[in-house]
């Protein structure tokens, strides 16, 4: 994780979201990790894995909870981010050398956390803004060229990035950045004017007039569309660039700047959609999808999870509409345990629980049943638990894949929800037979000849061996008289030139028969 100075972080977040109360050790402290803590985490000590984060977002904690947590914490974090920080909290934190940052009461914590994570990824270690890879950098570049304040939103009007604000920002801009819906009367007026429809119809700049009675300043906007090389398919609307005018008029070429910016934004958003988040990359590393050496303590700290608990890895396989199996599972897994980590590979998705509990299997069965009922999706799930901490997650995931691979080769041989222990015999035997089938040298040529020349005898031999040499059981399975089975067995022994009483012969013939089935 890249590091930035505390001052750089606060500057990137903008005064719309946060304001510095006090920084006893200055703003040059390097920060590179953040953790979310709520009152229960503080009182019950559930946040041990996040204990060494550099900055903390304190959710819903009162002054007593915060002061008690600071006393027990063990080291002074670089900063705490708090809504409504009281005088006692400020005094206690600053005496310990911890900066206090006030968060706008209207800000959404999840928005702030994502933005901080974005700053770490794109601005750390002296990294410069790059309008080719960073939406925040693009927003700032547009603002400098147009002389306005810029925000970039997705198709659902969620702010993805923005330029620095000043005192001329209106309520619509401030609330959008804070993760809150804009004033209803503002949005209703914009909708009535057909502005949203115009933005979604074509990539042309649209001007929005000032409405002083609503506190709405003038704006220039343009829709963002996907690029397409297929003339038969219309570009899809994926977002909007908004430029709010302040006291200074927008640049004369602002419309042309926006046309180019919309193209760049479309490219960046497409890359972001295809690129996993830093958290997703870390989870993939834990599950062994990367060749990089993994420092489990560091990754656990970045993800805010325990490194040495009794973990569990569950692999899911199945086709979900839209191919978004991981997203569908994330909703259920996050509701079951807040520390659930999700990753995907191809058509499979994996859920990693750093500290599993006894109700895990019930959750897996319930999830598979719910998705079958609600989405008509038939999933297969394999549970690896308990796993010895994050260090065992990659090996567990590989074992899960072995079971899923076997189930894919032979549908119906395993239950829809199974564990490694329950599937071990089936999977090992399947892998042995698969290996034998892949090499003709390992198949007894007598079996191949028997299948070609005497298929009825080959079938009788297979049933007889699966019946452990029990003539009566074999006769019942074949729907023939036991004497018929005895006759065929003698005939088989003559053709093969071997006695079926020899256990080695029985093993060799069983494997060859299954490999050629």
- Higher-pLDDT residue of 100 and 232 is 100
Which two tokens mark 278? 């830093």
Q: Which of 190, 193, 202 is nearest to 259 (CA)?
A: 202
512 C-beta neighbours (distance < 10 Å), count: 22
For residues 42 and 63, the answer to whether their CB atoms sit within 8 Å is no
pLDDT (0 to 100) of residue 387: 93
Beta bridge partners of 88: none
* pLDDT band of 176, cuts 50, 70, 90: confident
* pLDDT band of 4, cuts 50, 70, 90: confident
Residue-wise pLDDT for 324-368, tens only, equals 788 778 877 877 887 889 888 888 999 999 988 888 999 999 889
Q: Do β-strands 310-317 and 99-103 pair in parallel, antiparallel, or remain unpaired?
A: unpaired
Burial of 262 (0-12, 13-18, 19+ CB in 10 A): buried
pTM for the model stands at 0.52
Q: Which of 310, 224, 211, 321 is nearest to 264 (CA)?
A: 224
DSSP character at residue 216: B
Q: How far apart are CA 70 and CA 214, in angstroms?
A: 44
* pLDDT band of 113, cuts 50, 70, 90: confident
What mean pLDDT is predicted for residues 208-216? Answer: 85
Q: CA torsion sign, 128 to 130 to 131 to 136?
A: negative
Is residue 79 scored above 80 in pLDDT? Answer: yes
What structural domains does the chain harbor? Answer: 4-121 (3.40.1390), 135-273 (3.30.450.40), 278-425 (3.30.70.270), 439-516 (1.10.10.2840)
Beta bridge partners of 313: 352, 384
For 283-335, the DSSP string reads HHHHTT-S-S---HHHHHHHHT--SSSEEEEEEEE---GGG-HHHHHHHHHHH
What mean pLDDT is predicted for residues 417-443? Answer: 90
Residue found under tokens 């750093």: 354
What mean pLDDT is predicted for residues 400-423? Answer: 89
């Amino acid at each position: 994780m890249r590091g930035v100075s505390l001052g750089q972080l606060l500057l990137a977040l903008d005064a719309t979201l946060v304001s510095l109360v006090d920084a006893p050790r200055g703003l040059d402290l390097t920060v590179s990790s953040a953790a979310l803590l709520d009152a229960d985490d503080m009182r019950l000590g559930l946040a041990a894995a996040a204990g060494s984060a550099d900055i903390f977002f304190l959710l819903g904690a009162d002054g007593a909870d915060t002061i008690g947590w600071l006393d027990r914490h063990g080291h002074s974090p670089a900063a705490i981010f708090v809504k409504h920080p009281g005088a006692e909290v400020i005094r206690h934190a600053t005496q310990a050398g911890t900066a206090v940052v006030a968060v706008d009461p209207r800000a959404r914590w999840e928005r702030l956390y994502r933005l901080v994570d974005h700053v770490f990824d794109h601005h750390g270690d002296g990294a410069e803004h790059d309008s080719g890879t960073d939406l925040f950098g693009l927003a700032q570049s547009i603002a400098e060229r147009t002389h306005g304040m810029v925000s970039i939103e997705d198709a659902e009007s969620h702010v993805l990035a923005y330029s620095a604000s000043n005192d001329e920002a209106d309520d619509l801009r401030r609330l959008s950045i804070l993760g809150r819906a804009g004033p209803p009367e503002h949005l209703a007026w914009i909708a009535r004017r057909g502005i949203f429809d115009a933005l979604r119809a074509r990539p042309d700049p649209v001007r929005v007039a000032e409405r002083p009675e609503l506190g709405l300043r003038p704006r220039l906007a343009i829709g963002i569309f996907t690029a397409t090389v297929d003339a038969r398919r219309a570009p899809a609307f994926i977002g909007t660039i908004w430029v709010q005018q302040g006291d200074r008029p927008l640049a004369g070429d602002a419309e042309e700047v926006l046309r180019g910016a919309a193209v760049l934004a479309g490219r960046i958003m497409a890359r972001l959609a295809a690129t996993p988040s830093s958290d997703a990359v870390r989870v993939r590393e834990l599950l062994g999808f990367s060749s990089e050496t993994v420092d489990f303590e560091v990754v656990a700290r970045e993800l805010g999870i325990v490194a040495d608990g009794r973990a569990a890895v569950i692999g899911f396989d199945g086709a979900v509409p839209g191919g978004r199996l991981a997203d569908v599972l994330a909703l259920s897994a996050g509701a079951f345990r807040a520390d659930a980590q999700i990753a995907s590979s191809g058509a499979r998705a994996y859920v990693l629980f750093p500290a599993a509990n006894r109700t895990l299997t019930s959750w897996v069965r319930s999830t598979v049943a719910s998705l079958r009922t609600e989405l008509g999706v038939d999933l297969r799930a394999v549970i690896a638990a308990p796993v010895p901490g994050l260090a065992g997650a990659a090996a567990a995931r590989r074992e899960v894949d072995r079971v899923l691979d076997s189930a894919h080769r032979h549908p119906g041989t395993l239950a829809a929800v199974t564990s490694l222990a329950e599937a071990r015999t089936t999977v090992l035997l399947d892998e042995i037979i698969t290996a034998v089938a892949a090499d003709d040298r390992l198949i007894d040529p007598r079996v191949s000849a028997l299948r070609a020349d005497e298929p009825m005898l080959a079938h009788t031999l297979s049933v007889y061996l699966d019946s452990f040499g029990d003539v009566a059981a074999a006769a019942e399975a074949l729907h023939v008289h036991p004497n018929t089975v005895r006759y065929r067995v003698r005939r088989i022994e003559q053709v093969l030139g071997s006695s079926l009483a020899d256990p080695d012969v029985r093993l060799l013939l069983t494997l060859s028969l299954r490999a050629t089935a």
